[in-house]
């Protein structure tokens, strides 16, 4: 067992690498993005309750995409108003991308590729 120290050293390095993300971020305070303060009864466009938009907007967007591209159903009625089922002509005509999309996506560390094609001004 004269090589034992090599194994121990190797293990320490591996454990160090694997746990790197933990101690690199330890003690840091990360600012939570402002929550969607929604009334549980309130609906957003497209029949997803406003309180669930954060977890389910991807499903909504997927459904809109099928409806627009495949069925040519491009508009949605909500509260007597007509809205376009579109990121750039719909969502972003009321919301601001930086605040509405980017903040949360950065916080949870996802990089959706919506903006590779859709234009977020």
Q: Which residues bind another protein (CB under 8 A)?
A: 65, 69-70, 72, 74, 88-89, 113, 116-119, 121
Calculate the alpha carbon distances from 86 to 49, 91, 106 in Å: 19, 7, 22
Nearer to another protein, 79 or 116 (CB): 116
CA atoms within 13 A on the CB side of 61: 15
How big is the chain, counted in residues? 121
Tell me the β-bridge partners of 76: 83
Nearer to another protein, 89 or 106 (CB): 89
Spatial CA neighbour of 32 closest among 120, 85, 99, 103: 103
Tokens of 38: 């929604």
Nearer to another protein, 37 or 116 (CB): 116
Q: Min. distance of Cβ 113 from another protein in angstroms?
A: 7
Q: Min. distance of Cβ 112 from another protein in angstroms?
A: 12
Nearer to another protein, 72 or 81 (CB): 72
Tokens of 18: 């694997």
Q: Min. distance of Cβ 65 from another protein in angstroms?
A: 6
Q: Min. distance of Cβ 45 from another protein in angstroms?
A: 18
């Amino acid at each position: 067992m004269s090589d034992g120290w090599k194994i121990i050293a190797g293990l320490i390095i591996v454990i160090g690498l694997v746990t790197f993300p933990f101690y690199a971020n330890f003690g840091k305070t990360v600012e939570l993005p402002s929550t969607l303060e929604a009334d549980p009864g309130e609906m957003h466009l497209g029949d997803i309750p406003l309180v669930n938009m954060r977890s389910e907007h991807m499903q909504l967007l997927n459904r809109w995409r099928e409806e627009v591209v495949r069925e040519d159903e491009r508009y949605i009625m909500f509260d007597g108003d007509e809205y376009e089922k579109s990121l750039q002509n719909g969502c972003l005509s009321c919301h601001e991308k930086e605040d509405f999309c980017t903040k949360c996506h950065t916080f949870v560390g996802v990089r959706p590729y919506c903006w590779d094609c859709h234009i977020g001004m």
